Structure 1
Amino acid sequence: MLFSLGFLILYFSLFLGLLWLWWNRKPPVLPPLTSYPKVSILIAARNEEQHIITCLEAIDRLHYPKDRLEVLVGDDRSSDKTRQLVEAYKQTHPYVSCHGILFDVQGTKGKANVLAQLAQLATSDFFFITDADIEVPRRWVETMLQHLTPGTGLVTGITTTKGSRIFDRLQALDWLYNLGLMQVVADRNLPVSTMGNNLLVTREAYRKVGGFENIPFSVTEDVQLFKQVLAKGYKTKNIYAPEVLALSLPAPNVLTLLDQRRRWMRGSMHLPWYMILLFVIHSAYYPVWLPFFLHTSWGVWLAVLVGKLLLQSLFLRKCLTYSKQTSNWRDILLLEVYLVLTSVVLLVYFFLPFKIRWKGRLY
């Protein structure tokens, strides 16, 4: 009883503090760019014939001079028409190039291998990294550059999913909500994490860590890069704004979603201790709350649940406001059911003794 009560008091105190900070957040007002440095956009592509042109068309809409832009697509031994589509696209878009990835650089695999080889070909001092199924917003490049202050080696935007199914919409809310929790901490000038579909790393920082070929391999290569950049003394920055909101394809089904989250959980082991603590406390709510009714009345038990839903919904409404996205109250309430079910299943799924499937490969 005392443990449960103490935990719930800790949980609500923490969440009220996070909500207050999030509600009173004041994003910095930055001056516009006075110059447009050349930048490189690196894209690893493996069997992406259904998505790669949508990705490239979004890049073509960027509010950035095309003569200051180079897009390097690494075709990671695709068995579909990815390579042919990019080759055809570059005929009318000369800033795009396609490079066949035919071997693995020693110490790398998968996406890390592709990015390692593309980085060797890039000619700018700023490496923007995204995925082949991502649509970046028009002001992505210039906004990320605006947040690149002296001593900063890595800048991260935000990502959510697109789609009209209820499953797609709940994934979108899940992304925005969890990235919001991370942003509250990042706003305190504390490093949190990064995302490999929406990041900028400077050539200087990338070279200091030795590139992907010289950092420990991980199925979450972005988090490993983040960790190494921090270890070299660079600052990192996270941006929660519509100007850097990228749109990703949602997981098409529950099994794919679990594979994705299982891979992310592997990467979460490298997060800073305070981020791990935050997510542990957040995830431990239901294991503590469910048996709490044995020690109190049903009314109090349900009131504690309603309090959690209210605070979470208010937090999420602010996430939607800051990202200029919309939702409805039904989806926001259904998100709780989604989070509970996926969390419980994932806890079991994570410890099953089989490899992670990612882009048709096992790790």
Structure 2
Amino acid sequence: MLFSLGFLVLYFVLFVLLLGLWWFREERPIPPLAEFPSVSILIAARNEEEHIITCLQAIDRLHYPKEKLEVLVGDDRSTDRTRALVEAYQQQFPYVRCHAITYDVPGTKGKANVLAQLARLATSNFFFITDADIEVSPLWVETLLRQVTDRTGIVTGITTTKGSGLFNRLQTLDWLYNLGLMQVVADRGVAVSTMGNNMLVAREAYEAVGGFESIPFSVTEDVQLFKQVLQKGYKTANVYSAQVLALSLPAPNVMTLLHQRRRWMRGSVHLPWYMLLLFVLHSAYYPVWLPFFLHTSVEIWLGIFCAKVVVQGLFVHLCLRRVGRKTNWPDLFLLEIYLLVSGFILIIYFFLPVKIRWKGRLY
């Protein structure tokens, strides 16, 4: 009883603090680019015939000199028309090149292998990494570049899902909510994490760690690279704004969502200890809160539940406002149910002795 009560007090004190920091957040002024350096956009693609052209069309809408762009698409042994579509597209857009990935660099698998090979082909000092099912915003490249200093290794934008259905909308809120929590910490000048579908990696930092082929393999190759870059003494930055908001396809069903989140949970072991602690504290809320019900009244139990929904809802509302989106208030209540149900299922699923399915492969 005392442990549960102490945990709940700690949780709300911490969350109200995070909400206050998010509420009174002030954007740090960043000077515009003095010049436009050449950049390389790296995209790993495996059986993405339904999405790759939409991805490339979004890149073509970038407000960045096309003569400064090279887009390298790695076709990871696709069995559909991915490669043919990219090769046809590049006839009209010569800054796009498709490369067939036919072997694995020792020490790598999957996406890490593709990116390792594309990085060897890249000619610029800045690698922008995104996924084949992502639509980047027009100011993506310029805005991330504005965060670069002499010792910057990685700059990370934000991503959420698109789609109008309830399941899709709840995934959108979930992404923006968790990225908002990370941003509050990052705003204090503390390294948090990165996202492999929306990141800038400086060539200097990438080569300092030896590239993907020289770091321990992980199904979350982006977080592993982030960890190695930090260990080399490079700085990182996170940007939470509409200018870098990328749109991803939502998980189409619950099973796909579970595989995705289980992979992310595997990657969480590579997070800095303070981010891992925040993640554990946040995930442990309901396992602690529900037993507390056995020792208190229904009124207090419901009051605590409503307090969490209100505080969390305000935080998510600010997340949406920062990227220029309107709040659908009923969804904020449904988000709590979504987090409760998916959280319990995921905790059980995480410890099952089954492999992670990702891009048609098992890890």
The two structures have a TM-score, normalised by structure 1, of 0.99
Report the Cα offset of residue 326 of structure 1: 2.4
Q: Flag structure 1 segments of 5+ consecutive residues without an equivalent.
A: none
Report the Cα offset of residue 331 of structure 1: 0.9
Work out the number of aligned pairs and report it.
363
- Output the CA distance in 2 between the equivalents of 1:80 and 1:326: 38
Aligned match of 1:53:
53
The yes-or-no answer on 1:148 pairing with 2:142 is no
Aligned match of 1:100:
100
- Output the CA distance in 2 between the equivalents of 1:313 and 1:262: 25
Select between 306-315 and 289-298 the one with higher mean Cα deviation: 289-298
- Output the CA distance in 2 between the equivalents of 1:354 and 1:35: 50
- Output the CA distance in 1 between the equivalents of 2:201 and 2:226: 9
- Output the CA distance in 2 between the equivalents of 1:97 and 1:326: 38
Aligned match of 2:217:
217
- Output the CA distance in 1 between the equivalents of 2:164 and 2:43: 26
- Output the CA distance in 2 between the equivalents of 1:43 and 1:242: 22
The yes-or-no answer on 1:208 pairing with 2:208 is yes
The yes-or-no answer on 1:89 pairing with 2:80 is no
Letter in 1 for 2:19: L
Aligned match of 1:119:
119
Letter in 1 for 2:155: V
CA displacement, residues 144-185 of structure 1 (integer Å, 9 cap, x when unaligned): 000112211100000000011110010000000000001111
- Output the CA distance in 2 between the equivalents of 1:297 and 1:361: 49
The yes-or-no answer on 1:129 pairing with 2:129 is yes
Aligned match of 2:288:
288
CA displacement, residues 112-147 of structure 1 (integer Å, 9 cap, x when unaligned): 000000000000000000000000000000000001
**What secondary structure is seen at the aligned counterpart in 2 of 1:269?**
helix
- Output the CA distance in 1 between the equivalents of 2:21 and 2:149: 23
Letter in 2 for 1:87: E
- Output the CA distance in 2 between the equivalents of 1:65 and 1:118: 21
**What secondary structure is seen at the aligned counterpart in 2 of 1:341?**
helix
Letter in 2 for 1:345: I
CA displacement, residues 283-332 of structure 1 (integer Å, 9 cap, x when unaligned): 11111111222222221111111111110000000000111122301111
**What secondary structure is seen at the aligned counterpart in 2 of 1:40?**
strand
CA displacement, residues 15-74 of structure 1 (integer Å, 9 cap, x when unaligned): 010000010111112111120000000000000000000000000000000000000000
Aligned match of 1:351:
351
CA displacement, residues 241-289 of structure 1 (integer Å, 9 cap, x when unaligned): 1100000000000000000000000000111111111111111111111
Report the Cα offset of residue 95 of structure 1: 0.4
- Output the CA distance in 2 between the equivalents of 1:285 and 1:108: 37
Aligned match of 2:187:
187
Letter in 1 for 2:7: F
**What secondary structure is seen at the aligned counterpart in 2 of 1:259?**
helix
The yes-or-no answer on 1:239 pairing with 2:239 is yes
Aligned match of 1:308:
308
- Output the CA distance in 2 between the equivalents of 1:75 and 1:150: 33
Letter in 1 for 2:301: W
Aligned match of 1:254:
254
- Output the CA distance in 1 between the equivalents of 2:36 and 2:60: 16
Letter in 2 for 1:51: H
**What secondary structure is seen at the aligned counterpart in 1 of 2:128?**
strand
**What secondary structure is seen at the aligned counterpart in 1 of 2:270?**
coil
- Output the CA distance in 1 between the equivalents of 2:150 and 2:330: 44
Aligned match of 1:269:
269
Letter in 2 for 1:137: S
What is the percent sequence identity of the aligned residues?
72
CA displacement, residues 69-94 of structure 1 (integer Å, 9 cap, x when unaligned): 00000000000000000000001101
Report the Cα offset of residue 189 of structure 1: 0.7
- Output the CA distance in 2 between the equivalents of 1:99 and 1:114: 9
Letter in 1 for 2:91: Q
Letter in 2 for 1:327: T
Letter in 1 for 2:173: L
**What secondary structure is seen at the aligned counterpart in 2 of 1:340?**
helix
Letter in 1 for 2:231: A
Q: Flag structure 2 segments of 5+ consecutive residues without an equivalent.
A: none
Letter in 2 for 1:252: P
**What secondary structure is seen at the aligned counterpart in 2 of 1:246?**
strand
**What secondary structure is seen at the aligned counterpart in 1 of 2:314?**
helix
Considering only aligned residues, what root-mean-square deviation do their CA atoms show, in Å?
Answer: 0.7
Select between 161-170 and 326-335 the one with higher mean Cα deviation: 326-335
CA displacement, residues 195-245 of structure 1 (integer Å, 9 cap, x when unaligned): 000000000000000000000000000000000000100011111011000
The yes-or-no answer on 1:362 pairing with 2:362 is yes
